[in-house]
Amino acid sequence: MAIDIKVPAAGESITSANIAQWYKNDGDTVKKGDALVSLETDKVSNELEAEADGVLKITVGEGEEVDIGTVIGHLEPSGSTSSEPEQKPASSEESAKSDAAPQETTPEPEKAPAKEEKEESEPTASGEPVDIKVPAAGESITSANVAAWRKQDGEQVEQGEVLVTLETDKVSNEVESPVSGIIQILIPEGEEVEIGKVIARVTPGASASSQSSEPKSAPKEEAPAPKQEAPAPASQPADSRPKPDLSVVSAPEPKQPAPVKEGRTTRRKMSMLRRKIATHLVNAQQTAAILTTFNEVDMTAVMNLRKSVQEDFVKKHGVKLGFMSFFVKAVTQALKDVPSINGRIEGNEVIENHFYDIGVAIGTEKGLIVPVLRDCDEKSFAQIEQDILDYAAKGKSGKITIEDLQGGVFTISNGGVYGSLLSTPILNPPQSGILGMHTIQQRPIAVDGKVEIRPMMYLAMSYDHRLVDGKEAVTFLLRIKDCLEAPHRLMLEL
């Protein structure tokens, strides 16, 4: 019985998808788990795999936009057609063909080697090139930069092997080969291309030029030798091809166009991420009425609490108790107390958020990224610290995805790690507020009529004055100050 291939649901706001690329041709025999098709939505792209072995029947071609749940193809059992010819010779009505039947069956052992040779040569002759396209990376991303090719033009590649690293204005990602074969690079490194652009082609089994000479020069008894070395995957069945060991593939740094020295200056092309950051920050200042309010917080209580429980905290949770989890929890509590800041302006309407997804700015070698910690009101201090560590590791290795950066309602930026004493952070649109942390500095302050040296931190909160009034902004920042100076009340949500 045929199995329908349907477009799966991809999110509550996604109603349709685009058929980006079929990895198999109509009528191809596929194995369970084979990647069949790449689907693109307005936010993400994903691949559908075969649920079972069978023959693929494509009903919707590439480039078509279809609704969620639409049947775009079928998987028909591969044994349904092969069993019919075996039953026909056995029927009594065709007894006249019984004499011919033995003649067809008896030569089979002699023709078997010829069939094997045909199977070896077919991938080289009939394999059609598979296009390598720039995949969709998000609703606001329209182009990508070819950062680094992992393979050379004309080189043999394996299915699942990383071919190229692409950089968008938000994240970088790697594109793998859908098939084994010879790669033809069409777009060189450093070029900016549109989403969906064909940047290379992989010709399945194109390495058979080296195999075609093997039967002539080497006897059949030596055929197992190439299987041990496996230089060409076309000499083996598809399900027994050796898969590449991706654990040993190191991620090279994306190559940028070489700087050009002009006298006493050097000119180099601005990276795509840096161009996007520049545009994003300028737009933020042009589309919002940004105002900043300041305060300072005494970090004595937080530092003493961390020192007293740090050893037990690490033993139980496996992560250190840092400052950021306190600030995330303090911001979450302040958003509950001053809900007007947990919103945004959209046209002539105000959108109020009833969730607490907090963005945390992280500096990387490529630029600033703001991954989002989800549902911070429901997470413990340990869970928040673990999420931050995970994002830091992903950012360092270039594995941050577009989903990691979307959906935040408020942002925390920690310039203090670089030694900043005071700054005015810029909003992260469409959010209406951002908190700036700064370096902790020992300063003399008055405590109960006496001068004491305390670890102090300046706080800066920038907000969209179109939506948030000064009173609300000041109240919000004071609420954060109170939570940090009395962390026991913060843990009790008081």
Residues annotated catalytic, as ranges: 465, 469
Q: Are 86 and 54 in contact (CB under 8 A)?
A: no
Residue 336: strand pairing partners:
none
Cα(325)–Cα(434) distance, rounded to whole angstroms?
Answer: 16
| Among 406, 355, 356, 373, CA closest to 43 | 406
Cα(251)–Cα(38) distance, rounded to whole angstroms?
Answer: 24
| Among 206, 214, 215, CA closest to 233 | 206
| Among 392, 437, 389, 388, CA closest to 416 | 437
| Among 177, 186, 175, CA closest to 158 | 177
Burial per residue of 130-160, b for 16 or more beta-carbon CB atoms within 10 angstroms, e otherwise: bbbbbbbbbeebeebbbbbbbbeeeebbbbe
Cα(40)–Cα(134) distance, rounded to whole angstroms?
Answer: 11
Burial per residue of 273-284, b for 16 or more beta-carbon CB atoms within 10 angstroms, e otherwise: beebbeeeeeeb
Helix (H, G, I), strand (E, B) or coil at 26: coil
